[in-house]
Amino acid sequence: MKAYERLLNYVKYDTTSDENAPEDLCPSTENQKVFGAALAEEMKRIGFADAHMDADGYVYGSLPANCAGKQPVIGLISHMDTSSAASGANIRPRLVKYTGGDIVLNPEKNIVLRESEFPCLAKCRGMELIVTDGTTLLGGDDKAGIAEILTAAEALLARNIPHGKIAVAFTPDEEIGRGADRFDVAGFGADFAYTVDGGVLEEFSYENFNAASALVTVHGVSTHPGDAKDKMKNAALLGMQFHSLLPPDEAPEHTEGREGFYFLEHIEGGTEKAVLRYIIRDHDKEKFEARKSYLRQAAAYLNGKYGKGTFDLSLKDSYYNMRPVVEKNPEIVARAERAMRRAGVEPNVTPIRGGTDGAMLSFRGLPCPNLPTGGHNCHSRFEFVSVPEMDRVVEILVNLVSA
């Protein structure tokens, strides 16, 4: 089976994770376990004798070594959940042969994937692409990675390619920053691993953002507006004041490369209470800490102005930049670069403007750079995946684990 055929099947499963679920609930949505159980059964059919899903929804399996001599145990990891940034239910994928220009995703709703807005389309001319109908995301992040890993495993067994032991894992709740929380590093048993969770084919990454989430809760005072003078404290307006203290140019839409940002991803509320949810990102650890400090100062300043307890700020670190860990293991970087070049792909070492399960796993003793999937525009209804790039990723993975 081709990797893209697997992906077309996998996107039928709605595996959106829920950041509002209690932290002791794993996975955050039950549908992830439905998908996980199906993957475990598929792995058994392929030849993973020990394939199983644990109580927390993590799927594990391994292929025993089939060659003589000492080989490292290599891990391959992807995640099962999809982002809540766009709907992951009732996905209607279709294949298109892209010859250039715009792609009409949904003529009824006039939803168009425009080359002028998404210049990544230009390099995909002549390729077969999997697109959505414009009302949902596709789920290639990271079901494309899962499809590529299992297709590579199937190729290894079918062609009897020599390899050491290969450990495979599929995680829940990566999109909400919990994917590595209950990962069984010891049981996984890999010496090092790679997440298959990137995008553009040439991009290989072992550097990512330091990340934190911030919850700002504003407590106001509601009164009748006709009798509000010197009494009302409008929480919604006070929340806007908090946000106005943040530098406007340090938002995702104005940053690139290693530039960090504050991202207001959700705001709601009224007069009595308002809630603002942020994510904070920076590749540089000192700048990352400075960003969190700035939020604390902003809350303290406004509490001094409007009264103690008006602003409650909760900060929680999500993951850290894996680069210091991975750089201590240069061979795993060189191995990936060799595998890419053998597949005719020149690696472009690029910092991730995001994170992966591998970031936290690196700090738990499992160095874990990130490989591409051939996906584009993730977390969006304009998401698409290149079929020939998926095939190339499968080739990279086979090269990566071959003895």
Would you name the residues annotated as active-site residues?
Answer: 81, 174
Residues 6+ apart with CB under 8 A from 94: 130, 131, 133
What residue has token string 């999997």? 130
Phi, psi of 345 (to 5 degrees): -115, 120
Residue at 333: amino acid letter: V
Residues 6+ apart with CB under 8 A from 347: 202, 203, 204, 336, 337, 340, 341
How many whole angstroms separate alpha carbon 30 and alpha carbon 15? 8
Q: Is the peptide bond before 142 cis (omega within 30 degrees of 0)?
A: yes
Q: Is the peptide bond before 27 cis (omega within 30 degrees of 0)?
A: yes
How many whole angstroms separate alpha carbon 158 and alpha carbon 352? 34
What's the CA angle centered on 53, arms 189 and 212, to 5 degrees? 75
How many whole angstroms separate alpha carbon 377 and alpha carbon 363? 28
Q: Provide the pairing of β-strand 59-63 with 111-113.
A: unpaired
How many whole angstroms separate alpha carbon 163 and alpha carbon 100? 40
Q: 143 to each of 63, 99, 340, 353, 378, how far by Cα in Å? A: 20, 25, 21, 20, 11
How many whole angstroms separate alpha carbon 282 and alpha carbon 320? 9
